[in-house]
Amino acid sequence: MRRVVHISDLHFGHNDPTLLDPLRDAIARIDPHVVIVSGDLVEHATDEEFRAAQAFLRLLPCPQIVVPGNHDLPFWNLARRVLEGLRKYRRYITSDPSPEYVDDEIAIVGADSAHLFPVKGGTVTSFQLKGLVNRFSSFPTGLVRILVTHHPFDLPDPANPHLLMGHARRSVARLAPVVDVLAAGHIHVSSVGSTSARYNTAGHSMVYVQAGTAISSRYKGEANAFNLLRIGRGEAQQKQVIVDRYAWVNARSSFVPVGSAEFLLGKEGWAQVPPVPAR
Ligand SMILES: [Fe+2]
Ligand SMILES: [Fe+2]
């Protein structure tokens, strides 16, 4: 079983510094095979913020799959945004625009959905989409294949559809036959589900996994949180993904597991296993 930690929206420059050590400790206890960071590492894309983000990432286990978010480009200053783009992100975090990790159980590919415009929203361009479909198609089908972006392709209904990335429906139709899990952030609220509720992709529904904000104080009604994805095989040897949500609990001064959702791959694609009601 593979353990993949999924953190997001660190927003260095608008973060709670007292959460850094507890987050690092929680991740160390999990001892993940891979750490995913789904964007918005900083708040204003300054050197100081990126240096802090870089220093923190260096304390986390590797390998890491990191993608940029809309805040990793200069957000408020249009001139800086156009002139600098992702230069500082590339300098301090990674120059790899499509990082990937592959072993004999999982394949993870990151894609940059944060472009110069629109400022807040994001998209995967048709050029990127073609590359992603080709890359995911090349992996053995026995692997659980995970695409990481900052902006979400899917959210629980009745989330505002404007929160989804641009051209999400087009992208989902192309990705669904070759991708198992969509991991994203941006919303600062955790969620999981099957894409079958929103998209009809004929037998190829995917799992979507949203991470909340791990350490920022940009709260959207939820405590700081991150996800652990446990990826393996169910009782009938079908592909299985279990998403554990870890949330900050003040009374315990630590991140602790607060919920879990299990997904299995069946004939119609990925579906959530109904939770067993408590007695
Ligand atoms: Fe964010
Ligand atoms: Fe964002």
Ligand 1 being an ion, which residues bring their Cβ within 5 A of it? 9, 40
Ligand nearest to the CA of 214: 1
Average pLDDT, consecutive stretches of 10 residues, N- to C-terminus, the chain (279 residues)? 98 97 98 98 96 98 97 87 92 95 98 86 95 98 96 88 92 97 97 96 95 94 96 94 98 97 96 82
CB atoms within 10 A of CB 276: 6
The CA 222 to ligand 1 mean position distance, Å, reads 13
Please tell me the predicted confidence (pLDDT) of residue 46: 95
* CA–CA distance, 131 with 118 (Å, rounded to integer): 22
Ligand nearest to the CA of 114: 2
Structure tokens at 20: 């850094």
Instruction: Mark residue 102 as left, alpha or beta (left: phi above 0; alpha: psi -120 to 50; beta: remaining).
Output: beta
pTM: 0.96
The CA 51 to ligand 1 mean position distance, Å, reads 18
Helix (H) or strand (E) holding 240: strand 239-249
First CA to last CA across the chain, in angstroms? Answer: 29
CB atoms within 10 A of CB 174: 17
